[in-house]
Amino acid sequence: MADRLDTPLAQRRSLVPRFRMEQDAVGKATEGIARFLGTPRFLIYLTVFCVLWLVWNAWGPEGLRFDSAANGFTALTLMLSLQASYAAPLILLAQNRQDDRDRVTAEQDRRRGERNLADTEYLAREMAALRIALSEVATRDFVRSEIRNLLEELEEKDRGDDSTEPQSQRRSSGTSDPHR
């Protein structure tokens, strides 16, 4: 099959197979190592390793020593330098991943805060509209007072009509009921 220009490189076949690894695998591994490097267990292991190295090379059998105390334990210094040279970038990688997660979390918090603010403003507007609407609605006490006032006016009117009608007319009408 000939290489086609309209086919992306990732889909073209190659003679040497590409090693495919999960994109996040290296990041997860570096975080695991960085977390371990920051534990008391690692410090204890490293201390025990160094003490054993020094004891063996200082007081061990002469023919089996592999790092000379006269040379200042050069091999141990190189081992510790190698460990430090790998630990620093691993810690930086882990910190970069944590910064990325913190950035995403901060962005999500900002969006959530904006939504909460918009919801709060909406609810405040709705509450204000309800207050305005309620101020125009007659309350129970207002309706009672208006009915009471109308009842008093009717009673006064009824009393006023009764007192203005002469008694002779009431008797002549032939009814004994004053509230016709």
pLDDT in tens, 77-112: 999 999 999 999 988 988 999 999 999 999 999 999
Alpha carbon distance 140, 163 (integer Å): 34
Q: Is pLDDT at 60 greater than 60 in this prediction?
A: yes
pLDDT at 164: 58
Mean pLDDT of the chain: 84
**List of long-range contacts for 51-54, beta carbons under 8 Å, 24+ apart:** 53/79
163 band by pLDDT with thresholds 50, 70 and 90: low
Residue 50: both structure tokens together: 């160094």
- Single pTM value for the model: 0.50
Judged against a pLDDT cut of 70, whether residue 74 lies above it is answered with yes
Of 124, 121, 127, which Cα lies nearest the Cα of 113? 121
Separation CA 146–CA 45 (nearest Å): 90
